Structure 1
Amino acid sequence: MTGIELLSFNTAEIQAILLSLKVAFYCALVSLPFALWLAHIMARRSFYGKSIIESLVHLPLVLPPVTTGYLLLLMFGTNGWIGQWLYSTFNIKIAFSFYAAVLASIIVSFPLIVRSIRTAIEMVDTDLEDASRILGVNRLKTFFRITVPLALPGIISGTVLAFARSLGEFGATITFAGNIAGETQTLPLAIYSNMQVPGQEGTTLRLVLVSVVLSFIVMAISEWMVRRMKARKFN
């Protein structure tokens, strides 16, 4: 394959690449506030059933992705527990749509962002938070003025991890969102589809290289941002 052929993307390939980036963006955007809230609770509070909640949050890390996708289908499918109510009440159909791809990515990547942010918050000195509250600053302002800035490298790292994990999500997406070209066919699904077709080795290689390059760029940006935040912290 020549260099020109390697860079000759067709419409379907471009759609898959852009869709993957769009899904990953929404996944990180939606996950961040919920992960920040939950990570803070896990890091700073002790309560009955905490270990159960922690296990549920981290369950997608050990479950086969297809199992996660099937459970989502049971809940949010047209005949599912939640999906049926959404469809009959608001005419909203989630399964086998763009929203299903985003939701699948959120569920699969959520443990990564929560763990990263929780670790960062646990490393923040609680004496600083206590001093802030003693000076009359309420808990919410203390959280955003003290805790979040000090834990920012971990928050950034976790968000980028969620973004990167979403780029590589396959099993839950194909089960819950399907493999619909232009709507739910993300980059990993496009790679899988082209692998099944004889004579599409060139297309498969192009998409694989794009996947590698995107993942490398995302992780490199993450490392650069974390290093920069740490450098500012110690200056």
Structure 2
Amino acid sequence: MQLSPLWLSFKTAFIATIIVFIVGVFLARIIGRNDFPGKSIVEAVILLPLVLPPTVVGFGLLFLFGKNGPIGQLLMNWFDVQIVFSWYAVIIAAVVVSFPLMYQSAAGAFQQYDANMENAAYTMGASKWKVFWTISFRLAWPGLLAGLVLSFARALGEFGATLMLAGYIPNVTDTIPLAIYFAVESGNMELASFWVIIIVALGFSAILWLNWWSKRNMMRYTAKRSK
């Protein structure tokens, strides 16, 4: 039995999570803490993949990154890079579908503490970068970690958009969800059951750990408040 779907899924989810964490924290910090005209529209666009069917998201990505799409043509003409039916397509699909979870968690995390703590640091001469790392990031970390875990789990289980954009190519785009689907299609229920057990165990472990960590963090916070 080849374990390439497991390795590919982990690699894809890991890279996608790093990307959505960096971009999600940045945008949540910029957009979430500031009011400007059209903010609701911008946030609606960011969160749209969360409510759309994965196949619709995949169709949109196929339109953008296909050979005749605006981004696909640009990449092909300038860099001779084809996105569709490649591992890059798997990464892009995972990033797009998991990004809303990271952004939503990060935006909520940056809004849950008193902004006067940051303002006090600014008045004392601290730079924005120093305030972010020493105050904002530390106070928002519990929410950011929750978004990180949920984004990883979502990227690990992505199916519809990946199938539309990357297709199923053994050892190239065969993530666990795709391996399950095509194993069932070929009548190999034993292989499908094996991958189902693996991905259920991974998802369950991620959620279980997140719940345990949240309760532990809440107990520590309550203990500090009671002192």
Please classify the TM superposition score into its range, dividing by the shorter chain length: over 0.9
- Paired with 1:143 and 1:164, the residues of 2 have a C-alpha distance of 27
Could you report, residue by residue, the CA deviation over 1:179-234 in whole angstroms, capped at 9, with x for unpaired residues?
A: 11111111011000011122x11111111100110111222233344445555556
The answer on 1:214 being equivalent to 2:202 is yes
Structure 1 equivalent of residue 72 of structure 2: 83
Unaligned runs of 5+ in 2: none
Structure 2 equivalent of residue 176 of structure 1: 165
Please provide the CA RMSD for this pair.
Answer: 1.4
The answer on 1:150 being equivalent to 2:133 is no
- Paired with 2:54 and 2:147, the residues of 1 have a C-alpha distance of 20
Q: Counterpart of 1:194 in structure 2: which amino acid?
A: A
Structure 2 equivalent of residue 58 of structure 1: 47
Unaligned runs of 5+ in 1: 1-9
Structure 1 equivalent of residue 18 of structure 2: 29
Contact preservation (8 Å) 1:20, 1:167:
yes
From 172, 175, 178, the equivalent of 1:189 is: 178
Task: Number of aligned residue pairs: give it.
Answer: 223
Q: TM-score w.r.t. structure 1 length?
A: 0.90
Could you report, residue by residue, the CA deviation over 1:106-138 in whole angstroms, capped at 9, with x for unpaired residues?
A: 101111110111111100111111111011112
The answer on 1:70 being equivalent to 2:87 is no
- Paired with 1:37 and 1:232, the residues of 2 have a C-alpha distance of 28
Aligned ranges 1:111-130 → 2 under 5 Å: 111-130=100-119
Give the CA deviation at 1:87. 1.0
- Paired with 1:166 and 1:212, the residues of 2 have a C-alpha distance of 14
- Paired with 2:87 and 2:17, the residues of 1 have a C-alpha distance of 15
Structure 1 equivalent of residue 129 of structure 2: 140
